[in-house]
Amino acid sequence: MLPKDFQWGFATAAYQIEGAIDKDGRGPSIWDTFCAIPGKIADGSSGVTACDSYNRTAEDIALLKSLGAKSYRFSISWSRIIPKGGRNDPVNKAGVNHYAQFVDDLLEAGITPFITLFHWDLPEELHQRYGGLLNREEFPLDFENYARIMFQSLPKVKNWITFNEPLCSAIPGYGSGTFAPGRQSTSEPWTVGHNLLVAHGRAVKAYREEFKTTSDSQIGIVLNGDFTYPWDSSDPADREAAERRLEFFTAWFADPIYLGDYPASMRRQLGDRLPTFTAEEKAFVLGSNDFYGMNHYTSNYIRHRTSPATADDTVGNVDCLFYNKQGQCIGPETQSPWLRPCATGFRDFLVWISKRYNYPRIYVTENGTSIKGENDLPKEKILEDDFRVKYYNDYIRAMVTAVTLDGVNVKGYFAWSLMDNFEWADGYVTRFGVTFVDYENGQQRFPKKSAKSLI
């Protein structure tokens, strides 16, 4: 059984749903700039309008309430708060007031806000001014300042998340160039990851020392991860490779927070491309989680490679596959090439995290699926999303099993996503929502079958 105070809810991100990119003093973010580059977004779209949620907060709260949500995880647009981003730049009161009113309205509706401070949308000015996430000195200080403003401005909020999926800022943003700001480098992802960890630690220290007012107030970081199984379970090299992939994906960030340093496997492969924590940085980072935020969607079979790792390898010198040596498939296809349902992997990953980090309090901050060809279906077919219903049923059962049989301490579950939205480089081609958004007819919302069966 799940605890009585278990938080059921849905999750979204500012750039993916808000739109209104130039309203009430918001400054541009790196995603505004990135979307304007031809060929970067699958359908040539952007978050200019998205789901128009900035102008529809009452409608979105009514939707949440109708679906029985106890909580709502959403993110703040940093460039709405400080349009230029920096600690010496002006604060935009209209942006602060918008989120303060939204929090009040959520609480009045009986919905607990879980706020993410950074979901990939860095103010463009900071990227131009000093390289943004690449700057080891300036970025952590500017993020701490922004975090302090939000902590002070939203005192009723008790659940804070610093960063969403720092890996996705680091590797697609600075390695492959498929996410904003679109840089390609073999060294920059590791620098960015390090700076995000230090910025997280600084914000947590500030919150704990100056803003945490009640024992149930909490702050943490959200890490993504796919679970891994060896391609050949009888091969020790594949078993080791599967573990190494988990370390490159998830332990890259979780190990410094819970254990004090990067995994040894990463240091062996990356050498001095992986930064070393100073004593001051380690003091900020170690122990800087009140809970573990877990984003999880899929699993892979992992096969070791015999040749040395190439300079651009970011996954631990392994092959990530959907079929194992026996030809067994990990799960059915979805619209997302990287995602195939495997509920067993969800349970096993919860157990892996719990054992490695001494059974922390876990919130499943994202979990969900796309459906192959969903966007091409007529609306009435999209609303009958049985594939997504099955996904959620299977994954939630796996989570309950992990709690009841494996002793995992899960305190909440947020489905991704409350509604179809701007799916980053995939634009609007891919839908993850439990609510259909009719982009061609004024962003109207229509709950799908999954929305009505989830909570």
Q: In order of start, what are the domains of the chain with their CATH numbers?
A: 7-454 (3.20.20.80)
DSSP reduced 3-state for 300: strand
The single-letter DSSP state of residue 126 is H
Strand 292-295 relative to strand 299-304, pairing: unpaired
Which position among 188, 366, 374, 423 bears the catalytic label?
366
366 is catalytic: yes
> What average pLDDT values come out for the chain (455 residues) when binned by 10 residues?
94 99 98 98 98 98 98 99 98 98 98 99 98 98 99 98 98 98 98 99 98 95 98 98 98 99 98 98 98 99 98 98 98 98 98 98 98 98 98 98 98 98 98 98 98 88
Question: For residue 385, what are the CA distances in angstroms to 183, 296, 378, 392?
Answer: 37, 20, 12, 11
Q: What's the CA gap between 440 and 447, in Å, rounded?
A: 17
pTM for the predicted model, two decimal places: 0.98
Residues ≥6 apart with Cβ < 8 Å to 155: 211, 213
- In the Cβ-directed half-sphere of 283, how many Cα atoms lie within 13 Å? 4
Give CA–CA dist 128/118, Å, rounded.
18
Name the nearest CA neighbour of 224 among 260, 188, 253, 263.
Answer: 253
Catalytic status, residue 165: yes
The C-alpha angle with vertex 137 and arms to 133 and 141, in degrees rounded to 5, equals 80
Q: Which of 159, 147, 244 is nearest to 196 (CA)?
A: 147
Residues 6+ apart with CB under 8 A from 205: 284, 288
Residue from 18, 125, 144, 165 carrying the catalytic annotation:
165
The reported pLDDT for the residue numbered 248 is 98
